A and B are shown apart, each in its own frame.
Chain A
Amino acid sequence: MGDERVEAMEIDGQQRQEVAAAVPDGFNADYLRIYYGKLFPYGDFFKWLAYGNDAKHPGCDQSYIGRRELSFTLENDIYLRFQSFDSAAELETSIKEKCPFKIDIGPVYSVDPAKRHAYAQSGNNVFVPVERELIFDIDISDYDDVRYCCSGADTCLDCWPLMTIVIKILDTSLRGDFGFNHILWVYSGRRGVHCWVCDSRARKLSNEQRSAIADYFRVYKGGENSLKKVSLTGPVLHPFLARSYTDVLKCFFEDKLLHSQQLFASEERCQKILELIPDENVASELHDKWQGNRRSSISKEDVNAARWEQLKTTLQSGKHKTQGLRRCVEEIVFSYTYPRLDMEVCQST
C-alpha cells in the first residue's frame, strides 16, 4: 500500500511539472490572441467611441464612428495608421486577424481616414481632425527625483500612491472647476496612469484650450538647472492650489510620504529638502540641529516626523522675515507630492 501512494504522488508531480512548462511568464503573442479571442470588449469599446451615434434615431451621425482613427502596432513594430471601422464586428475581425501589440485611439476626422487620399486631391485641407478626447499622461518615472524606493519603470506600494494623489487632484478639478463629467482613468500599462476626458465639450477643445488647461494644472517646472522647481508666489494661493493642499497634499505628505519614503532619514535626503529653502541661514540652522540629533537614540520611525515638525516650526516662526520663506513649507510639500503632468498634452493632430 505504501508503494501505491508513492506511485500516485509521483504521477501528480509529473503533471504539475508539465502544466508549469506550458505556461511561460510574461507577455507572449499567444496570450494576446487568446485575450482578443475571448476577453477584449469589442462591443463596449465600440459603444464608447460611438458616443451615442450608433443608435437609430435621426439625431445620430452615421458617419461618426467611421471617422475615428485607430492605429495598430503589430508584432514587428509595424505601425498601421488610419484604421477605421463602421461596426463593432468589423473592429473585431480586424483585431483578431492582425493581433496588434498596441492599439492607439486617434482623433475623429472630418472624413473617413481610409478615404483621406481622395479628399486630398481637391486641394483644400478637408482632411482634418475635428474631435479628440482631452488626455493626460502621467508617468511615475517623472517623480524619480523624489522617490527613493524605485526608479524608472519600477513601482511599488510605497510610491504608487503618488499616482493616486494625481488622480484625486485632477479628477476633483476637472469636475469641479472645468465642469467635466465623463472621465476615464486607466493604468497606462507600464508605469503610470492616463486620464481620458470624454465630454463632448472636451472633445471639441482647440490645442490652445488644451494647453491652457495643462498650464492651469502646472506647478512643477522641472527640466531647468535650478534646484527649486516649485515656486508659489503671491500672498495667498489660488483656490485650486489651496484646496489641493488642504484637502489632499498636506495629509498625504505628513501621514504617508514622510514615512514611506523616509524623507529625513539620511544626511543626503535631508540635504535635498534643505536645498529647497531659499534662506541659507535657516537651512544651516536646521542642518546643524540635525547633526546634533543624529547621536541621540531616536528610532527611524520618529526621525522623519520630528524633523519635519522642526522644519515647519523654524520656517513659520516669523523670526525670519525673508520674502521667499513665506510659502516654503507648501513649496516643499508641493515639490514632493503635486501632480507632474507630461506637458505634451495630446494635441488634436
Chain B
Amino acid sequence: MPTYRVAPQLEVRLEEFELFAIDRLRVLKGISDGLSRGKRPEEMEKLVSELWKAHMRHQDPAETLNKDIISHFVLRLVYCRTEELRKWFLSMENTLFRYRFRLESPESQRLLMSEFQLPYKALPHSEFEAVKDKLSQVARSIGQSASVESVFFKVPFEEVPDLVASRRVFLSKGYAYVAMSQVVSLVVTQFRCNISKALVLTNRKWTATIKEQEKDRLTPIVEALSNAYFGPDYSQPNDATEISPKDIDQLARTSFPLCMRHMLEKLRENHHLKHGGRMQFGLFLKGAGLKLEDALTFWRSEFSQKVGSERFDKEYAYSIRHNYGKEGKRTDYTSYSCQKIISATPGVGDHHGCPYRHFGEENLRAALNNMGVGGNALEGILDKVKNRHYQLACTMTFEATHGVSCDTGINHPNQYFSESQKVLQAKNQTVQSQLST
C-alpha cells in the first residue's frame, strides 16, 4: 500500500490521466456518501473494500499500484486549489487510507508503521496476559467493549501524549500500552499531516508554473474534474417539506439563520454539541422536515466520530427519539422560537442561543461576512445589535442575503428557513421560465 510520499517517476498516457482520476473520484465520492449516511466503522470497511475492488483493482497488482499512485497525484492537482477542496480531499483520502490500512495483513501494517516512524513491537503473549485485565478496564472506561482487541504495543509514554492526556491507555513504569486501533490513529494522523503539507506545496507549484505550462494539455482536464465532481448535485429541486442529511450542508449555506449555521459548523468541527445545542438545532431540523430516521443518521454520523456509535446509541439516540415524541411522555416537541432562543444562557462550550445576542462584535462581523453580508448592510445589522434588537438584526440579515424585504420580521428560525426556501424557489422558477422563452 503506497503512502504517496514522493511523486512517481512514471509515464502516463493522457487518457489514463483523466480515467484513473475519475475512477479514484468514484471511490472518494462513495466514501463521502457512506460517511454522510452515518455508516459504522465495520460498514465503512466493507464499503471501502467494495469500492476499491469495483473501480481501482486490476488483475495485475503492479498495474493496480500504478493506478493507485497516479490517480492520487492527479487528484492532488485537482483538489489543491482552494481551501474547501483541500479539506474535502484530505478528509476522503484520510478515510480511504484508514480503512485500507485496517484491511491490510499484520505484516503489511507493521511495514507501514515503520515507514511512518512508528517502529513499535507487538506485546508478547505472556506480557499481554499479565496486563490483560487492566487493558480491558481501560477499554471499558472509554466506552469500548471489554475484549475486542488482542494486539497491543508497548510504547514510551512520551510518544503518545494525546492518548495519555485523555487516559485512553494503560500506563505502567513509563510505558503506554497502545491498542492496534489507536496505532492506526497515529499512522493516519501522520498520513494526514503529510498529505496536508503536500497539498499546500502542490497548490503553490500549480499556481506558479504548472497551470500556465499545461494550459493546453492538463489544465483543462484538471479544471473539468473539480467542477464535475465536487459535492452533491445542486441542481436538483428540493421537496419543500422534507429534507435529508445530504442536503443539510447546502441548505445551511442558503437558508439557515445564523444561529443554526453556527451550530452546524460547530457540530461538523467538534463532532459534538452539548445539550442546549442538540435541543435547539435538533428541533429546528425536525421543523424543517428532517424525519426521525434521518435525524438519527445525521447525528450519529457526527457523534460517532467523537464518542463512537455504541455510545451514541446508548446515550444520545434516546433523546432524539424523545424530541420526536417517541419516548417518555410522548410529547411531540415544537422547535424553539426566537424569543426562547434569545433568552437562553449558553455557558462555556455551548453554541446555542442567539448569536446576535451572544457573539462579540468581531465574531459577529466575521460570521456575517461569511454569509456574504458586508458594507452598509453589515453596519446596519450591528447597529441593531447594539440596541438589542436581535430579531431585527436577523431580519436584516435575511434581507441582505436574499435581496428581498421581509415585512413580517423574523421571529422563528423555521420561519427564516421556509421563507428562504420560498424566495429561492421563486427565483429558480423565474430563471427557468426565462430560459424557456
Q: Which residues of A contact B (CB under 8 A)?
A: 176-180, 201, 205-206, 208-209, 211-213, 215-216, 224-226, 233-242, 323
Known A234-B141, A236-B141; judge A178-B157 contact (CB<8 A): yes
- CA A241 – CA B173 in complex, angstroms? 16
CB-defined A-B contacts under 8 Å, sample of 16:
A177-B171, A177-B172, A178-B171, A180-B174, A201-B158, A201-B174, A209-B157, A209-B161, A211-B161, A212-B161, A215-B166, A216-B165, A238-B138, A239-B137, A240-B167, A241-B167
Chain B residues with Cβ under 8 A from A178's Cβ?
157, 171, 173-174
Chain B stretch 109-163: residues in CB contact (< 8 A) with chain A? 134, 137-138, 140-143, 157-158, 161-162
> Which one of B140, B142, B164, B173 lies within 8 Å of A179 (CB-CB)?
B173
Scoring B134, B165, B175, B348 by chain A CB atoms within 10 A of each residue's CB, the highest score goes to B165
Whether the Cβ atoms of B158 and A238 lie closer than 8 Å is no
Known A209-B158, A323-B315; judge A238-B137 contact (CB<8 A): yes
- CA A198 – CA B414 in complex, angstroms? 60
Chain A residues with Cβ under 8 A from B138's Cβ?
238-239
CB distance from A124 to the nearest CB of B (A): 23
Chain A residues with Cβ under 8 A from B170's Cβ?
239
Scoring B134, B171, B173, B175 by chain A CB atoms within 10 A of each residue's CB, the highest score goes to B171
CB distance from B174 to the nearest CB of A (A): 3
Whether the Cβ atoms of B171 and A240 lie closer than 8 Å is yes
CB distance from B135 to the nearest CB of A (A): 9
CB closest chain-B residue, reference A224: B348
- CA A211 – CA B166 in complex, angstroms? 11
Chain B residues with Cβ under 8 A from A239's Cβ?
134, 137-138, 170
Is B360 interfacial (CB-CB < 8 Å)? no
CB distance from B211 to the nearest CB of A (A): 36
Chain B residues with Cβ under 8 A from A226's Cβ?
347
CB distance from A108 to the nearest CB of B (A): 18
Scoring A176, A180, A205, A235 by chain B CB atoms within 10 A of each residue's CB, the highest score goes to A235
> Which one of B162, B172, B173 lies within 8 Å of A212 (CB-CB)?
B162
CB closest chain-A residue, reference B315: A323
Contact digits for B294-316, partner A, Cβ 8 Å, 1 yes 0 no: 00000000000000000000010
Chain A residues with Cβ under 8 A from B165's Cβ?
211-212, 215-216
> Which one of A213, A216, A234 lies within 8 Å of B140 (CB-CB)?
A234
Whether the Cβ atoms of B140 and A235 lie closer than 8 Å is yes
> Which one of A211, A212, A216, A224 lies within 8 Å of B347 (CB-CB)?
A224
CB closest chain-A residue, reference B348: A224
> Which one of A180, A213, A233 lies within 8 Å of B164 (CB-CB)?
A213
Whether the Cβ atoms of A179 and B348 lie closer than 8 Å is no
- CA A242 – CA B171 in complex, angstroms? 13
Chain A residues with Cβ under 8 A from B140's Cβ?
234-236
Chain A residues with Cβ under 8 A from B137's Cβ?
236-239, 242
What 7 A-B pairs come out closest when comparing CB atoms?
A179-B174, A212-B161, A215-B165, A177-B171, A212-B165, A179-B173, A234-B141
Whether the Cβ atoms of A234 and B143 lie closer than 8 Å is yes
Chain A residues with Cβ under 8 A from B348's Cβ?
224-225
Whether the Cβ atoms of B347 and A225 lie closer than 8 Å is yes
Chain A residues with Cβ under 8 A from B173's Cβ?
176-179
CB closest chain-A residue, reference B136: A236
- CA A226 – CA B172 in complex, angstroms? 34
- CA A208 – CA B173 in complex, angstroms? 20
CB closest chain-B residue, reference A211: B165
Chain B residues with Cβ under 8 A from A212's Cβ?
157, 161-162, 164-165
CB distance from A77 to the nearest CB of B (A): 35
- CA A213 – CA B161 in complex, angstroms? 8
CB closest chain-A residue, reference B142: A234
Whether the Cβ atoms of A238 and B164 lie closer than 8 Å is no
With A236-B137, A242-B137 already in contact, 5 other A-B pairs whose C-beta atoms are closer than 8 Å: A178-B171, A201-B174, A212-B157, A238-B167, A240-B171
Whether the Cβ atoms of A176 and B162 lie closer than 8 Å is no
CB distance from B74 to the nearest CB of A (A): 36
CB closest chain-A residue, reference B140: A236
Known A234-B142, A240-B171; judge A216-B134 contact (CB<8 A): no
- CA A240 – CA B142 in complex, angstroms? 13
- CA A186 – CA B27 in complex, angstroms? 60
- CA A239 – CA B141 in complex, angstroms? 9
- CA A234 – CA B166 in complex, angstroms? 13
- CA A146 – CA B137 in complex, angstroms? 30
- CA A177 – CA B138 in complex, angstroms? 14
Chain A residues with Cβ under 8 A from B143's Cβ?
233-235
Whether the Cβ atoms of B141 and A205 lie closer than 8 Å is no
Whether the Cβ atoms of A216 and B174 lie closer than 8 Å is no
Chain B residues with Cβ under 8 A from A323's Cβ?
315
- CA A307 – CA B167 in complex, angstroms? 33
- CA A36 – CA B348 in complex, angstroms? 49
Chain A residues with Cβ under 8 A from B172's Cβ?
176-177, 179
CB closest chain-A residue, reference B138: A238
Whether the Cβ atoms of B141 and A237 lie closer than 8 Å is yes
Chain A residues with Cβ under 8 A from B171's Cβ?
177-178, 216, 240
CB distance from B282 to the nearest CB of A (A): 18
- CA A226 – CA B170 in complex, angstroms? 30
- CA A212 – CA B141 in complex, angstroms? 18
Chain B residues with Cβ under 8 A from A206's Cβ?
158
Chain B residues with Cβ under 8 A from A216's Cβ?
164-165, 167, 171
CB closest chain-A residue, reference B167: A238
Chain B residues with Cβ under 8 A from A234's Cβ?
140-143
Chain B residues with Cβ under 8 A from A215's Cβ?
164-166
CB closest chain-A residue, reference B168: A238
CB distance from B98 to the nearest CB of A (A): 23
- CA A205 – CA B156 in complex, angstroms? 12
- CA A201 – CA B171 in complex, angstroms? 16
- CA A226 – CA B171 in complex, angstroms? 31
Scoring A216, A225, A237 by chain B CB atoms within 10 A of each residue's CB, the highest score goes to A216
Chain B residues with Cβ under 8 A from A236's Cβ?
137, 140-141
CB closest chain-A residue, reference B307: A233
Whether the Cβ atoms of A205 and B158 lie closer than 8 Å is yes
Scoring A180, A201, A212, A224 by chain B CB atoms within 10 A of each residue's CB, the highest score goes to A212
CB closest chain-B residue, reference A180: B174
- CA A211 – CA B393 in complex, angstroms? 42
- CA A201 – CA B167 in complex, angstroms? 20
CB distance from B329 to the nearest CB of A (A): 16
CB closest chain-B residue, reference A173: B171
